[in-house]
Amino acid sequence: MNRHQLEKWLFVFFLFSVLLPSSCIDNEALRGRITLALTDAPADNTSIKKVNIAIRQIGILPENSQNWVVLKSFEEPRVINLLEYTQGEVFDLTEQYLGSSEYKSIRLELNVALEDNGLTVFPENSIEFTNGNIETLFIEGQDNYAQTDAAFEVNAGEITFLTIDFDLRKSLIETPDGYRLKPFIRLVNTRGCGAIEGYFRNSSVKPRVAVYAYKAGTYAATEATTDIPFFNAETSDRVKTNETGKFITSFLPEGKYDLIFVELNSNGTVKEVLGKLESIDVNALETNQIQSVFLDDLVPIN
């Protein structure tokens, strides 16, 4: 090997030794990480014991794109009883690395049979009642996605914590042929949320009470009489009579909230709007605890 060849070889070796590490840098450092959990607000009908849904795939839609990206695809549909994940409990759906970018939508693809298209009925999508009856849960309409157009951002080297609130109270529709599922979900930045926890002390005389959390000043009396009552509530909970009237409204973005207390009939319909607690502060990663709420504490709603 002459000197010219040696110098050329050394130059190539130098380039290789410099460039190889940069090309082999773990690209995870150039991406962000997303953790996605699922929670639920309970159905108002106290006769509903379980609501099982099967999730086949999770998709996300990047900003400035019309093409959905698969975040997670389950080899077997992931069957979840949503009523197990209320009062701040969550089901961990997935944790994935993503390119640093902005995303404008997220959706769950449900493994739910459409009643009129001849598909096999998937028994894992079902609703179970306290009397032991189990019914197949069909989806309303022709779309088997639960989707929300809520933007989120993923930054390189950071973890984005997100929670999907699959609100059964808004999603279950009662028809003459039984219940149908018309999915309603909301997406929140988990670490930007807090909760309100309290005890309704008159639960012995008002055993079926639901609590609806509204952004302060947004509740209108007509909310109680719409097709889906209290539809504009951020979230809700049922008072637990066996826990001294405990309730928790979780995954509320920071701000002030009014709590609307409503007595329900056994089938979940509105019996009486009892009143409200006004302007309750919610701070991120904190739970505002209200030890005792009595009927006399509630502001009447006209």
Q: What is the residue-level pLDDT of the chain in tens, covering all 302 positions?
A: 544 543 444 444 444 444 444 443 456 667 899 999 999 998 888 899 999 999 999 999 999 999 999 999 999 999 999 999 999 999 999 999 998 999 999 999 998 765 555 554 555 789 999 999 998 888 887 688 999 999 999 999 999 999 999 999 999 998 888 889 999 999 999 999 999 999 999 999 999 999 999 999 999 999 999 989 999 999 999 999 888 899 999 999 999 999 999 999 988 999 999 999 999 999 999 999 998 999 999 999 97
Q: What is the pLDDT of residue 128?
A: 94
Q: What is the pLDDT of residue 125?
A: 85
- Among candidates 4, 79, 84, which has minimal Cα distance to 43? 84
89 in the same domain as 126? yes
**Residue 141 near residue 166 (C-beta atoms within 8 A):** no
235 in the same domain as 114? no
**Alpha-carbon distances of 100 from 97, 117, 154, rounded to whole Å:** 9, 40, 5
How many CB atoms are located within 10 Å of the residue 147 CB? 18
203 in the same domain as 153? no
In a domain, residue 19? The reply is no
CA–CA distance, 252 with 196 (Å, rounded to integer): 8
Number of domains the chain is built from:
2
Q: What is the pLDDT of residue 169?
A: 92
Among 133, 156, 183, residue at a domain's last position: 183
Among 183, 215, 231, residue at a domain's last position: 183
In a domain, residue 9? The reply is no
SS3 169: helix
246 in the same domain as 103? no
Structural domain harbouring 249:
193-302
199 in the same domain as 179? no
b/e sequence 78-102, b meaning 16+ C-beta within 10 Å: bbbebbebbbbebbebbebebeebe
CA–CA distance, 104 with 98 (Å, rounded to integer): 14
In a domain, residue 14? The reply is no
Distance from chain centroid for Cα 175? 24
CA–CA distance, 28 with 158 (Å, rounded to integer): 10
In a domain, residue 93? The reply is yes
CA–CA distance, 203 with 261 (Å, rounded to integer): 11
Looking at the DSSP assignment, which residues form a beta bridge with residue 247? 198
42 in the same domain as 141? yes
**Residue 125 near residue 112 (C-beta atoms within 8 A):** yes
262 in the same domain as 114? no
CA–CA distance, 14 with 41 (Å, rounded to integer): 61
In a domain, residue 8? The reply is no
**Residue 287 near residue 199 (C-beta atoms within 8 A):** no
146 in the same domain as 33? yes
235 in the same domain as 124? no
pTM here is 0.86
113 in the same domain as 136? yes
Q: What is the pLDDT of residue 122?
A: 54
Q: Residue 180: CB partners within 8 Å, gap ≥ 6?
A: 137, 138, 139, 140, 172, 173
Among 134, 151, 183, residue at a domain's last position: 183
In a domain, residue 6? The reply is no
Q: Residue 100: CB partners within 8 Å, gap ≥ 6?
A: 30, 31, 32, 154, 155, 156
Strands 185-189 and 235-238: unpaired
What CATH number corresponds to the domain at position 277?
2.60.40.1120
In a domain, residue 63? The reply is yes
207 in the same domain as 170? no
In a domain, residue 18? The reply is no
199 in the same domain as 121? no
